[in-house]
Amino acid sequence: MKMLDPTTPTTIFIDFTETPHVYCVPQLEYPGMVKLAYHQGPMVDPDKRDIAVSDELRESIKKYMSKKYPGLYPETAIEETCLYTVTPDGEFVLDRHPKHPNIVFACGFSGTGFKIAPAIGEELCRLVLGQPPKYNLQHFKADRFTNNLSSSKL
């Protein structure tokens, strides 16, 4: 959405009061414009991703934008879809490989990785260097999906 009013959003945020959640990224990707989008969407074929937006979805985001940010020009200037991986529980994985302790990995950020990239990078670095993590990472371990992960063929 093109900006008309300098009082429109100036920070990255996700509006959790809406279902689906709406996120905003102001003037970072496209100067003078605001990226306003739903944080979830339909399953899509990655080879046909740019035809996944429906008129219903488009009108829904325009209605939200008009209600919350009347200073934004209501017509879409650029329309894109985002593809991302989603873990079964919607949370990312940050862990050490169960059979090869010299391998650490992070994946499945469900479209939110850019917001927490500095913290994830720091934790990956600490894991690689053998330092204790700054945060409790138990919730993000890969073995939460199966009790038999360490004996799998990874």
**18-44: per-residue pLDDT in tens?**
777 777 777 666 777 777 777 676 777
Q: What is the pLDDT of residue 126?
A: 94
| Rounded Cα distance, 90 and 83, in Å | 14
Show the tokens assigned to 77.
């200037």
**83-122: per-residue pLDDT in tens?**
777 788 888 999 999 899 899 999 988 767 767 888 899 9
| Rounded Cα distance, 143 and 99, in Å | 12
Q: What is the pLDDT of residue 151?
A: 46
**72-84: per-residue pLDDT in tens?**
777 778 777 777 7
pTM recorded for the entire structure: 0.55
| Rounded Cα distance, 128 and 124, in Å | 6
| Residue with the two structure tokens 């330092």 | 131
Do 139 and 133 touch, CB atoms closer than 8 A?
no
The closest of 88, 92, 83, 89 to 120, measured between CA atoms, is 92
Report the alpha-carbon angle 126-130-131, nearest 5: 55
Strand duo 93-96 + 34-38: pairing: unpaired
Q: What is the pLDDT of residue 140?
A: 93
Look at residue 25 and give its three-state secondary structure: strand
| Residue with the two structure tokens 């949370």 | 91
Instruction: Quickly state the pLDDT bin for 4 (edges 50, 70, 90).
Output: very low
